[in-house]
Chains A and B, each alone.
Chain A
Amino acid sequence: MTSPSHAILPGRGGMFGTLSDALWRNPRLLLFVMLAPPLLWLGVIYLGSLFALLAQSFFSIDEFSGLIRYEWTLKTYAELLRPSNLDIIARTVIMAVSVTLASAVIAFPIAYFAARYARGKWKALFYLGAMLPLWSSYLVKIYAWKLILAKEGILNWIFAKLHLTALLEAWLALPVIGGNSLSVSYTGTFLVFVYVWLPYMILPTQAALERVPESMLEASSDLGASPAQTFRHVLLPLALPGIIAGSIFTFSLTLGDYIIPQIIGSSRLFIGQAVYAHQGTAGNIPLAAAFTVVPIVIMGFYLWMAKRQGAFDAL
């Protein structure tokens, strides 16, 4: 064992040694070096684009030339509040709420079983069971439903085999949610939305349930609560932040989606489709920008509410 005899050693020297010493002496410089690239990218490019877009919502479009007039005005927002556009917003919000509620109801038993009863291999299986659909291709999932909901597809075939075709037709005859066939009805749109966003609800709910300590449930039953009462008064309130965290995803994703209603659904527009149409063929960037403000405002409000419920700790 050779050992240096001085208590303070000379520096390593060289470029790296000098640089390392300099960064050690200036922790702020180190922080700056680490933060500069991501902040430049996200803060300047991304936020810059976002604000540029929002700024455009305060411009308007010249009705005759179709060109953007670069003057500050609220004209575009007045246009946004037309009844036809309000219809689009209401339709999208109602769909987002229904999808969120349905996802919560379907996700809870899966999350509850995975968190409370599954163990070992089963637990991993349940986890992957939610993870794989979450990460598998969005378009493939929609495509699968196009196959399922087609007139000649598997769902109609099953109804026919079960002699329930009349029931399906009665459902499709209902106003608003019905339509010529499932693939052009709101029911179809709703089914695909629920299917595509469901895993986003399962994982946070399961995580919240896993964090409820066993002793708390034992304490509840020790204090005389029936299993149903324990569920109602202990488990559900503790799982709620997880469900709210999941709902942030299902709600936000439904608000902004434009591909699902385009492929499976009626011809009436959702917010995402309206944005797409206005920026594309119509070339009305100001109105498209104003439309994007709607989900941003709704989500801002939603996130604020969720934060008050402590949902961020469950993310």
Chain B
Amino acid sequence: MRSDRNARAPLGLKIAAAGGLAFLHLPILLIFVYAFTTEEKSYQWPPPGLTAKWLAVTWNRPDVWEALGLSVRVAAISTVVAMVLGTLCAAAVSRTRFFGRETISLLVILPIALPGIITGIALRSAFNIADIPFSFWTIVLGHATFCVVVVYNNAVARFRRTSSSLIEASMDLGADGFQTFRHVVLPNIGTALLAGGMLAFALSFDEVIVTTFTAGQQATLPIWMLEELVRPRQRPVTNVVAMVVVLVTFLPILAAYYLTRDGDRVAGAGK
């Protein structure tokens, strides 16, 4: 549907749309103000004064760095696993017609369609049954499971747009399966994979519900934040961390948007 050429939006609609967008964005902007407040004991508004000293305080906190480091490592490895699994699955589903295709799509979407608490508790009780101690790897296992879907969605959309005759053309010109993958398939789905990987990274970096069930004593950054939310002890540091998290997750999302904006609908709805 193209936009109305002659019509202009009714005023009521404009106000409702602008109001909705403001409702979505103002709370996040508020985080940026609170990161610089001088008040440490309460959430007082308006801030009595502004200071940048909490940035330095947070910078020197080893527990924050440790949590951040763990989150980055978990997100990086989960992303790699999800990219491999998601791409394989997307290639199989879009290149071949076989019995049970729908089931496979459903299986990929399930870990994100079911509430996170179900995935979390299911994995936790499975680890207990199998006597697997909680570790870095149990966190990764949980994260990779629900990250597959974003890579899969992006890759499927791109495969659908890539004409199947390109692969035939490559084989026709003498390239075998591996050469075709290297010279034709990979360059054509590369940006979609990159976008899917970035979204997977953002998803993993931010995940808390499944993580509370699959992490032992280790704290990822969201777990660190959750503890602060439940029992606030160091409000100013939490404010700064919240701001950093917003900035860190925005960058991959923007990058993913620019990588896929011509053509594929960014697989945002797949979250």
Q: A: which residues have CB within 8 A of B?
A: 9, 12, 16-17, 19-21, 23-24, 27, 30-31, 34-35, 37-39, 41-43, 45-50, 52-53, 56, 106-107, 109-110, 112-119, 124, 126-148, 150, 152-154, 157, 195, 198-200, 202-204, 207, 209-214, 217, 245, 248, 252-253, 255-259, 262-263, 272, 275-276, 279, 285, 288-289, 292, 295-296, 299, 315
Report how far A195 CA is from B257 CA in the complex, Å: 22
Known contacts A42-B145, A253-B115, A272-B117, A141 near B27 by CB under 8 Å: yes
User: Which of B28, B117, B203 makes the CB contact (< 8 A) with A292?
Assistant: B117
CB of A133 within 8 A of CB of B229, answer: no
Which B residues from 198 to 215 make CB contacts under 8 A with A? 199, 202-203, 206, 208-209
Given A20-B176, A34-B89, A299-B113, 8 further pairs, Cβ under 8 A: A24-B177, A31-B96, A42-B148, A117-B4, A135-B249, A139-B226, A140-B225, A257-B117
Most buried by A among B13, B24, B84, B104: B24
State whether the Cβ of B8 lies closer than 8 Å to any Cβ in chain A. Answer: yes
1/0 contact string of B55-91 vs chain A (CB within 8 Å): 0000000000000000000000000000011101101
Cβ of B31 < 8 Å from any Cβ of A? yes
Interface-forming stretch among B41-49, B158-166, B183-191?
B41-49
Interchain CB contact under 8 A, B126 and A147: no
Cβ-defined contact, B24 with A129, below 8 A: yes
Within 8 A of A (CB), among B95-118: 96, 98, 104, 107-108, 110-111, 113-118
- The listed residue (B28, B45, B265) touching A144 by CB distance below 8 A is B28
A198 to B20, CA, bound (A): 9
Set of chain A residues within 8 Å of B174, measured between Cβ atoms: 9
Report the minimum CB–CB distance from B31 to chain A (whole Å).
5
Specify which chain B residues have a CB less than 8 angstroms from the CB of A245 in the assembled complex.
269
Cβ A42 vs Cβ B225 within 8 A: no
B246 pairs with A256, CB closer than 8 A: no
Say whether B121 faces chain A, with CB atoms less than 8 Å apart: yes
| B237 interfacial contact with A, CB 8 Å | no
Closest to B268 in A: A131
**A146/B229 in contact, CB under 8 A:** yes
**From B30, B124, B177, B250, contact of A147 by CB (8 A):** B30
What residues of chain B lie closer than 8 Å to A128, measured between beta carbons?
254, 257
User: Is the Cβ of A288 less than 8 Å from the Cβ of B107?
Assistant: no
Name the residue on B nearest A146 (C-beta).
B229
Q: How far is the CA of A16 from the CA of B177 in the complex (A)?
A: 9
Q: Which residue of B lies closest to A17 (CB)?
A: B176
Give chain B's interface residues, CB within 8 Å of chain A.
1-4, 7-9, 13-14, 16-17, 20-21, 23-25, 27-28, 30-31, 34, 42-46, 84-86, 88-89, 91-92, 96, 98, 104, 107-108, 110-111, 113-119, 121-126, 129, 141, 144-145, 148, 174, 176-179, 199, 202-203, 206, 208-209, 222, 225-226, 229-230, 238, 242, 245-246, 249-250, 253-254, 257, 261, 265-266, 268-269, 271
Q: How far is the CA of A17 from the CA of B180 in the complex (A)?
A: 12
Could you tell me the distance between the alpha carbons of A48 and B125 in the complex, rounded to whole angstroms?
11
Contact B124 A279 (CB under 8 A): yes
B118 touches A38 (CB 8 A): no
What residues of chain A lie closer than 8 Å to B271, measured between beta carbons?
134-135, 200
Residue pair A119, B91 in contact (C-beta under 8 Å): no
Q: How far is the CA of A278 from the CA of B236 in the complex (A)?
A: 34
Q: Which of A143, A275, A289 contacts B229 (CB under 8 A)?
A: A143
Residues of B within 8 A of A30 (CB): 177
Question: Contact partner of B250 among A34, A50, A118, A136, CB < 8 A?
Answer: A136
**What 3 pairs between A and B have smallest CB-CB spacing?**
A256-B115, A109-B16, A49-B126
Q: B98 — nearest CB in chain A belongs to which residue?
A: A31
Q: Are B253 and A48 in contact (CB under 8 A)?
A: no
Shortest CB distance A304–B (Å) = 13
- A252→B3 CA distance, assembly (Å): 33
Contact of A211 among B1, B104, B203, B222 (CB under 8 A): B1
